[in-house]
A and B are shown apart, each in its own frame.
Chain A
Amino acid sequence: MSIADRALTSEMASRPDMIQCRGVKKWFGDFQALCGVDLTVKEREVMVVLGPSGSGKSTLIRCINRLEVHQEGQIVVDGVELTNDLRNIEKIRSEVGMVFQLFNLFPHLSVLDNVTLAPIWVRKQPKAQAEIRAMELLERVGIPEQAAKFPGQLSGGQQQRVAIARSLAMNPKIMLFDEPTSALDPEMISEVLDVMKALAADGMTMIVVTHEMGFAREVADRLVFMEAGDVVEVGTPETFFTNPTEERTKLFLSQIL
């Protein structure tokens, strides 16, 4: 078993790979943000990434949909390797949804238009069909009544749920979450986490960067601990929280728990 497949149950190990990272390295100028990351995400797996600030969590998941370009190593998403080939990038981006810490909704478009934009322009769906689907998704994240409003008129939690619906509208195979609740007031965090839990229960493949330990414990299939651009430890929630192998993991957990 390769290091990338650590802590997999045999059932999970038998599933196909959705994302493979092999020796991924990334520099910003002289500063190395990723120092050879090896990681495999299986189909329908929920992987939670933890680590101190600046450890490269965002950089890693942003490499997976090519918002950042890695310089060495290999990233294969759903069987397609990420290279400079424009077609591959567009294909992968339309199959990988991403939710940002600051929502990044389009402020000049209504909620409904935010959700239908990509299906209409990227998937070339007819408008009516895209709108029906968008309303279904807004229903799923619990805010169908806000469809006609503009993002600026919504609360943070509502905006983040719209952002999730916007990603789901592309029927992605994989969802990436970069600290989706870090910019939210405490009372809104749970409404977003609930949507994410439902998504996980439906079998979405997800990578979630978060500081919500409760969510990690409850939903994650595996946890990844990163530090200084390296994957330090990979484990199931039980072993990770109760019996971590690495000293650095223990130190980190003692600081946050």
Chain B
Amino acid sequence: MSDASVGVQRTVAPEVALPSPGRWIRDNLFSSITNSVQTVVFTVILLGLLRWALGLVFAEDTDWTAVATNMRLLFTYNYPTAQYGRIWVATGTVLAAVGASCGAWNINPGMTVRRLSVSGTGTGAFLLVIGVITPASTPSSIRTWIVIIGTALVLISLTALRIVDKPHRRSVSFASLLVTFGVAVVAFLWLFPFGNYGFTQGAVYAEPGLVAESTRVPWTVLMAIVVSAFFLGRETVRRLGEAGGLIRRSLTVFWVVGPLFLVFLVLRDPAFDMGYVLRVDIPIAAGFVLAGAVLISLLGQPARAELARIVGAVLAAGAVFNWMAGFMGWYPMLQKVRISFALLALLVLLLPTLAGERAARLRLMGLWAVAMVIFHWLITGMNTPSTLEIAAPPFLGGFVLTVTIAYYVMLASFPVGVLLALARTSKLPIFRVLATGYIEVIRGVPLITVLFFFSIMLPLFLPRGMGISDLAAVFAGYAVFSAAYMAENIRGGLQSVRHGQFEAADALGLTTVQRTGLIVLPQALRVSIPNLVGQAIATFKETSLIAIVGGFDLLRIANATIPNQPDFLGQKRPGLLFISLIYFVFAYSMSRASQNLETRLGSARA
């Protein structure tokens, strides 16, 4: 291979040849008599189970048109068809962000050709087995398709293994996997005779042929968006080099506030009263932007840190007083003014940490202004009557509800969980006692109790004139619950940070806030990733509990709504199987993503 005359010879690690299938089977499944017996027994059991499961899926009394007809119900519940464009725009935005994020962070799961082809062969073989053992009740066209796809997978995988040079070194890029996926989805939509199912004026119709155009076209566009967003994100970051960080930062910001806008877009179309907006809303927002800017320029200099701490404490006291006054009814104040005031206090309290050069101060002012504008726009929009008529209640349901609740519960409980974990490990007894009390009380109560409490009891405790929608109450309760578990997961991470890290940060003169934010938390969160993802998966699945307090989530639709339709009376099985598949796909993807993240972060450190 390499020239022998070269002094130092670097050798490539020896190739491990992939054993032939026959060889592999002999070595792993029939290496001894006991091994063979076990293999046979367990294969028989597995095949039996598989056949039983297939029997459920393809039983004569399992009417899959119940799912096919109710697809929109399952995904968006009663969302008006006329307004469906909003759903598509929102989905498109999320998918564009997914694609761009994968590109910007250069996600690369690093699948080698060999691994891909092994799993392709395995999947293909599995499909072939299904095609053979599936019960006689299976429609013959479906059996044919299963066999065709299985054979194709096996053939393609084996050919790839044969024609690609060094298949265990050559890795398949994420880009080509993504493109393949997009093409497969589009091909399915435009070629596969899935049929067109739906309701017209309450009556079911089912036409043979392709998927409905109103599904086919948007999904084709969406696939194009994901793929192009990926390449766009990757290339921009690559071209911009250093400034690529800006793209990543904007995407991060999008993931935090973006979905809020989208829920908004889907649910509301506020009819702003421009006169009132100009007279009241805009001046209030401008006032807070200005106040923040003045405070930053006056107190944001490193030398004024002490003064900033004092002013911050006074403002914080004022903010607390405002809330108290609100509860006692001492003086009226718009809720958004109260919140903005509290945010202003927080800003000033953080100034000693964020203070810096003129440029840093200007940047901080810009951030503050943007945050205020977004916040005030959202609040004002929420307080304005909507022109969008959505059959209410409930106005949000199905898969969209599941995803929205799960996402925001995680998002909201994360900062609370971090604060609780920090409080529980802090040196100050009052914080420790409060946090420990909160965590232990919440963890000692079942989720469903918390949800009931929030949806029924919470409105009774609110000050007069302050309503809360059912959905918001459930969301709040779930977030309160989730935060306690989040705190415990993060505390585990905090405890794993070595004492020397605290000392090194102290010795450099970092403040406690800086030490926590820059040194301790990043390390603690890394350690907590597996637990946090585990919690995310649990949260996602447990959203089905909101059915019990009145939400129309996936489970309720599959279990109650569909079986009550005159056309599909009693048809629970297909819906339940279908939503299990959805839950599984999402939970499994999250778990894979977390494994990828871990190896990525791990390799950065090793």
Q: Could you tell me which A residues sit within 8 Å of B by CB distance? A: 65-67, 87, 90-91, 93-94, 96-98, 100, 102, 104-108, 117-118, 121-122, 124, 126, 150, 152-153, 166-167, 170
CB-defined contacts of B359 to chain A, threshold 8 Å: 126
B356 and A124 contact, CB distance less than 8 A: yes
A117 and B500 contact, CB distance less than 8 A: no
B 345-369 to A, binary, CB cutoff 8 A, 1 in contact else 0 = 0000000010111011000000000
B508 and A117 contact, CB distance less than 8 A: yes
User: Interface centre among A87, A105, A121, by most B CB within 10 Å?
Assistant: A121
The 3 closest A-B pairs by CB, nearest first: A94-B509, A104-B504, A93-B509
User: Interface centre among B509, B518, B522, by most A CB within 10 Å?
Assistant: B509
CB-defined contacts of A67 to chain B, threshold 8 Å: 503, 506-507
A124 and B506 contact, CB distance less than 8 A: no
User: Interface centre among A67, A87, A96, A118, by most B CB within 10 Å?
Assistant: A118
- The answer, among B509, B526, B606, for a CB contact under 8 Å with A152, is B606
From DSSP, what is the main secondary structure of chain B's interface residues?
Answer: helix
| A97 and chain B: residue at smallest CB distance | B507
- Nearest-neighbour CB distance to chain B for A90, whole angstroms, equals 5
- Nearest-neighbour CB distance to chain A for B322, whole angstroms, equals 29
- Nearest-neighbour CB distance to chain A for B402, whole angstroms, equals 34
- The answer, among B503, B509, B519, B604, for a CB contact under 8 Å with A100, is B503
Q: A18 vs B505: C-alpha distance in the bound complex, in angstroms?
A: 23
A65 and B507 contact, CB distance less than 8 A: yes
CB-defined contacts of A126 to chain B, threshold 8 Å: 357, 359
Q: A117 vs B518: C-alpha distance in the bound complex, in angstroms?
A: 9
B507 and A98 contact, CB distance less than 8 A: yes
Q: A106 vs B360: C-alpha distance in the bound complex, in angstroms?
A: 24
- The answer, among B498, B508, B518, for a CB contact under 8 Å with A93, is B508
Q: What are 5 residue pairs bridging A and B, where the CB atoms are less than 8 Å apart in the complex?
A: A108-B522, A121-B353, A124-B356, A166-B508, A170-B509
Q: A118 vs B519: C-alpha distance in the bound complex, in angstroms?
A: 11
| A66 and chain B: residue at smallest CB distance | B506
Q: A98 vs B522: C-alpha distance in the bound complex, in angstroms?
A: 23
B503 and A153 contact, CB distance less than 8 A: no
| B301 and chain A: residue at smallest CB distance | A124
B 510-538 to A, binary, CB cutoff 8 A, 1 in contact else 0 = 11001000110011001000000000000
| A124 and chain B: residue at smallest CB distance | B356
B500 and A122 contact, CB distance less than 8 A: no
With an 8 A cutoff between CB atoms, is B306 at the interface?
Answer: yes
- Nearest-neighbour CB distance to chain A for B11, whole angstroms, equals 23
Q: How many residue pairs, one in A and one in B, have C-beta atoms under 8 Å apart? A: 73
CB-defined contacts of A98 to chain B, threshold 8 Å: 504, 507
Q: A106 vs B508: C-alpha distance in the bound complex, in angstroms?
A: 12
B518 and A121 contact, CB distance less than 8 A: yes
- Nearest-neighbour CB distance to chain B for A5, whole angstroms, equals 27
A150 and B518 contact, CB distance less than 8 A: no
Q: A162 vs B509: C-alpha distance in the bound complex, in angstroms?
A: 18
A121 and B510 contact, CB distance less than 8 A: yes
A90 and B509 contact, CB distance less than 8 A: yes
- Contacts A87-B306, A107-B605, A121-B518; is A102 near B500 (CB within 8 Å)? yes
| A121 and chain B: residue at smallest CB distance | B514
Q: A124 vs B301: C-alpha distance in the bound complex, in angstroms?
A: 10
CB-defined contacts of B500 to chain A, threshold 8 Å: 100, 102, 104
Q: A106 vs B509: C-alpha distance in the bound complex, in angstroms?
A: 15
With an 8 A cutoff between CB atoms, is B139 at the interface?
Answer: no
Q: A129 vs B514: C-alpha distance in the bound complex, in angstroms?
A: 20
A124 and B523 contact, CB distance less than 8 A: no
| A113 and chain B: residue at smallest CB distance | B518
- Contacts A107-B523, A108-B526; is A93 near B507 (CB within 8 Å)? yes
| B511 and chain A: residue at smallest CB distance | A90
Chain B residues 179 to 205 lying within 8 A of chain A, measured CB to CB, are none
With an 8 A cutoff between CB atoms, is B415 at the interface?
Answer: no
CB-defined contacts of B526 to chain A, threshold 8 Å: 108
- Nearest-neighbour CB distance to chain A for B123, whole angstroms, equals 37
List 19 other contacts, CB 8 Å, given A104-B503, A117-B518.
A90-B509, A93-B506, A102-B500, A104-B500, A106-B505, A106-B519, A107-B605, A108-B605, A117-B510, A121-B353, A121-B510, A122-B509, A122-B510, A124-B355, A124-B357, A150-B604, A150-B606, A152-B606, A167-B507
With an 8 A cutoff between CB atoms, is B501 at the interface?
Answer: yes
With an 8 A cutoff between CB atoms, is B302 at the interface?
Answer: yes
- Nearest-neighbour CB distance to chain A for B525, whole angstroms, equals 10
- Nearest-neighbour CB distance to chain A for B37, whole angstroms, equals 47
A122 and B508 contact, CB distance less than 8 A: yes
Q: A147 vs B605: C-alpha distance in the bound complex, in angstroms?
A: 14
Chain B residues 585 to 606 lying within 8 A of chain A, measured CB to CB, are 604-606
CB-defined contacts of B509 to chain A, threshold 8 Å: 90-91, 93-94, 118, 122, 170
A150 and B306 contact, CB distance less than 8 A: no
Q: A171 vs B509: C-alpha distance in the bound complex, in angstroms?
A: 12
CB-defined contacts of A104 to chain B, threshold 8 Å: 498, 500-501, 503-504
- Nearest-neighbour CB distance to chain A for B427, whole angstroms, equals 13
CB-defined contacts of A105 to chain B, threshold 8 Å: 504
- Nearest-neighbour CB distance to chain A for B236, whole angstroms, equals 22
- The answer, among A87, A94, A102, for a CB contact under 8 Å with B508, is A94
CB-defined contacts of A107 to chain B, threshold 8 Å: 523, 605
- Contacts A104-B501, A124-B356, A126-B357; is A118 near B508 (CB within 8 Å)? yes
A108 and B523 contact, CB distance less than 8 A: yes
- Nearest-neighbour CB distance to chain A for B312, whole angstroms, equals 15
Q: A150 vs B600: C-alpha distance in the bound complex, in angstroms?
A: 13
CB-defined contacts of B353 to chain A, threshold 8 Å: 121
CB-defined contacts of B355 to chain A, threshold 8 Å: 124
User: Interface centre among B359, B507, B604, by most A CB within 10 Å?
Assistant: B507
Q: A184 vs B225: C-alpha distance in the bound complex, in angstroms?
A: 54
- Nearest-neighbour CB distance to chain A for B304, whole angstroms, equals 12
B503 and A170 contact, CB distance less than 8 A: no
| B499 and chain A: residue at smallest CB distance | A104
CB-defined contacts of A108 to chain B, threshold 8 Å: 522-523, 526, 605
B605 and A152 contact, CB distance less than 8 A: yes
